Structure 1
Amino acid sequence: MDEIIVLQTLYSLLVQNKTNRVSLVRLQTEINENALMNRLVPCTGKQVLSVHDILEIIKRLFPKKTSLTEGQLTFYNLQLGEMRDTLFELFERIKNELTSQISESEPLIDVLIKDKTTSQRTRLLVLCRDTLLNKFEEHGRSKMYLKSVGEGAVKEPLDLELIRKRTPASILELQAWLQMCVANATMFHQSGSQEWRDARASQGELDETIGFVRSVLE
């Protein structure tokens, strides 16, 4: 990137001066005041180009075609058209290199974005899970769900402690788990018993809790 900035600045000065000579001090000043250079320095932490840096770049670009006398750089057998072509070639090369680097980095960036998004979603779902469980446990009847009921008699025993250890894939899945607790208790206990009536009553408490959490999320 330094090469293209030096060459672009040098080309502009030579065109303005209409000569094959340019002041090294002015060249350095123009380079380090270049808009692109000013953007690169804060991003990369790299210092501005020194006189030595500029001379080394010019030697690479114009081997054995320059001399320095009393602060003046003189270019021999220099064709501005060739310099312009070199500038375009440098631009294309750097553009292709950057494009290639970006293409190689895109899969890694996609993974990072996906991981970050997944992590944020997971944290949100865990927060919703804990909030919903804490709110539901404020109701006295929720104590009947601290331990699974009907083990061996219901298809999928489930309790609040087990739910607290799980990370739901969605709010709907979390709601389904809690609903299963109520359904298991309702089916397991004898119809008309106190436990059965408590399970039926807790359905309303669960609906109220879910409604509250959804209203907060919205």
Structure 2
Amino acid sequence: MIIKNGAAEIVDEKITLSLQSEQGSAKVLPLSKIRTHAIISQFQAGHQLIEKKADGTVKCAFLLALSATDAILLQNNTYLKLDLTNLVAGSTYEVFGLEYASASRFYNEFNNEIITGNDSQTKTFTPQFGAKSLILSNNGSLSSVRLSYAGANEVTYTPQELDAIMRSSNDISFAPDKLIEGDTVNQAILGGGTEFWALSLVGVSKFEVTTTGADDLSVMQIVVKSY
């Protein structure tokens, strides 16, 4: 969990996280925005805190999930190496490692690939070994995604269909602090996937992404690994 107190929420601050063990170094989070992984982590698991305090400062608390269920087992000189960059002057940051009753050697690895904008294109991917989830950016750059399963079954989703799927599976999504007219509590909560869509890759043999070319499209696979 990363907490920021300052004039604004976490926006452009970046994080890099790697697992250091006797077996060597393994990447967990590549250099990317804290906000990105916080939003991905809240799918089917709750929401992030952005709270405007009485003195006008903003408290922002983001949870980043590093494993599916258990804590990552850290012992025998095994540790997590964390780097934070693009921090905002005048703000304070705190980092917490949340403990769980059980721990394992499994962790999530976030592998991201960018399909560049400017031109519409279709690209086919084979899920990486151990991939459990596909994360696509919701920024107007996706035309459709097609998932192929064993047995020749296929499903194709448009952005409108993905919005509906996210609303049915993800009750709360990240939202900024906004003033609601007539309401003394100035918090806004959105449902679904306002910035990212998440789909399961379990049983998927390949997936095809078609873009509009409006912007760069982030295609991220969350892979379960062990050390």
Normalising by structure 1, we get a TM-score of 0.19
Normalising by structure 2, we get a TM-score of 0.19
Higher relative contact order (CA 8 A, sep 6+): 2
